[in-house]
Amino acid sequence: MKYLHTYSFAETTPFLLSCGKTLSNVNVAYETWGTLNTDKTNAILIFHAFTGSSHAARHYEKDNEGWWETYVGSGKAFDTDKYFIICANVLGSCYGSTGPSSLNPKTGKPYALNFPFITIRDMNSAIKNLTDHLQISRFLAVAGGSMGGMLALDWSIAYPNSTKSAIVLAASHSQPAQAIAFHQVGRQAILQDPSWKKGNYYGSEEIPRLGLSLARMIGHITYLSEKKMHEKFGRKLQDKAELSFGFDYEFQVESYLRYQGHKFVDRFDANSYLYLTRAIDYFDIRIDHGEGSLFSAFEKSKCDYLMLSYSTDWLYPPENMKQMANTLRGCGRRVVYLDIDTDNGHDSFLIDNQVMFAAVKNFLSQEIDTTENNV
């Protein structure tokens, strides 16, 4: 059975982007789990984080593990025995949806830097084309963490009648200045790599491995907490008993970051890194939907919310999520908000956590119960 699907659109009418440019022949890669019920009331749309893909969970025993394996599956928080789950790869990525590494239909060559700038709004517009094609007009929930949480927030406002609820994890209503700064340093690492070749490295034996690896190392630091790094590594030396007095990797934490960087190069595209980080930086629902006001933006939404922050997440601190929850309540929305105590930092939404598991599972059960009672 084929689990990875591709939906194509904009074959006759160009797809207009926020930057004013257009794309044609747009592909959206997606996967599904579970069964859609007759009334189409059990569908959940999951958004992946920055470097994720449509493969949120495995489909069979020997399948590759998905990025949200802990939470998507039979009997899990996103219970595939009860819900019909959809996860699509976002526009600009490199896992099947149209992005910089895709062939430009006008030239027959990869877009590279001819790919137009995109936004979170554009990613959702492309996925909306997919869900319209699947004839699902209203979801039980849209859900995601980090960039996926931004997509869930944007969706709940842009398409207020299309979802009963939104599950937003480790996210922000806008990209903070510090996060923009880290992204800029990561992008510069790629742009300064001689093998980047102004984005035209496709088909070459030399790709910007050094720059992309360094960008990942920088980014990965923001996903962890200081406490977790201290507990895991401390000042332990790497494969040695004494200092070697050199600039190579002395400490375990240095070796760990190098491993993360090298592993990342084998699975992600440098140009996608540039475009997606910039799209995240542009994100601000106050400007996109509220003319500068968070209240005005959220006033356009109509759904219930589950919002989870994590105590040691310094990329998107809990204060930001709490502000969103309070603003939504001021707009008259039903909001369940929890700040989960954990040492795992920003990446907590990807890691097994029983409080999060129970919160998501209970929230969805209540949402589907009220849906069934109203059918």
Average pLDDT, the chain: 95
Q: Is the pLDDT of residue 2 over 90?
A: no
CA neighbor of 30 nearest in space, from 14, 54, 46: 54
Q: Which of 146, 165, 213, 301 is catalytic?
A: 146
DSSP helix, strand, coil percent of the chain (3-state; round to 5): 40, 15, 45
Asked about 146 being catalytic, the answer comes back as: yes
Encoded tokens for 47: 């958004």
Q: Of 69-78, 272-281, 364-373, which range is least confident?
A: 364-373
Which three-class secondary structure string do you get for 320-336?
HHHHHHHHHHHCCCCEE
**Is pLDDT larger for residue 2 or for residue 125?**
125
* b/e 12-31 (16+ beta carbons within 10 angstroms → b): eeebebbeeeebebbbbbbb
C-beta of residue 85 within 8 angstroms of C-beta of residue 35: no
Is 375's pLDDT higher than 70? Answer: no
Q: What is the pLDDT of residue 311?
A: 97
Nearest CA to 345 out of 217, 230, 199 is that of 230
- CA angle (229, 233, 238) in 5-degree steps: 140
Confidence at residue 1, expressed as pLDDT on a 0 to 100 scale: 58
The answer to whether residue 371 scores a pLDDT higher than 80 is no
Q: What is the per-residue pLDDT for 243? A: 83
Active site residue 63: no
Whether pLDDT at 59 is above 90: yes
Exactly one of 53, 346, 347, 348 is catalytic; which is it?
A: 346
Is the per-residue pLDDT at 141 higher than 60? Answer: yes
Rounded to the nearest angstrom, the gap between the alpha carbon of residue 12 and the centroid of all alpha carbons in its chain is 29
pTM of the predicted model over 0.85: yes
The pLDDT tens digits for 149-184 are 999 999 999 999 999 999 999 999 999 999 999 999
What the chain holds in terms of domains, given with CATH numbers, is 4-174+285-374 (3.40.50.1820), 180-277 (1.10.1740.110)
Whether pLDDT at 372 is above 70: no
What's the pLDDT tens digit per position in 36-57?
A: 999 999 999 999 999 999 999 9
Question: Among 193, 288, 313, 347, which one carries the catalytic annotation?
Answer: 313
pLDDT of the residue at 76: 98
**pLDDT of 27 higher than 90:** yes
Could you tell me if residue 124 is left (phi over 0), alpha (psi between -120 and 50 degrees) or otherwise beta?
Answer: alpha
Residue range 280-321, pLDDT digits in tens: 999 999 999 999 999 999 999 999 999 999 999 999 999 999
296 vs 299: CA distance, rounded Å: 5
183-237 pLDDT, tens per residue? 999 999 999 999 999 999 999 989 999 999 999 999 999 999 998 888 888 888 8
- What pLDDT does 302 receive? 97
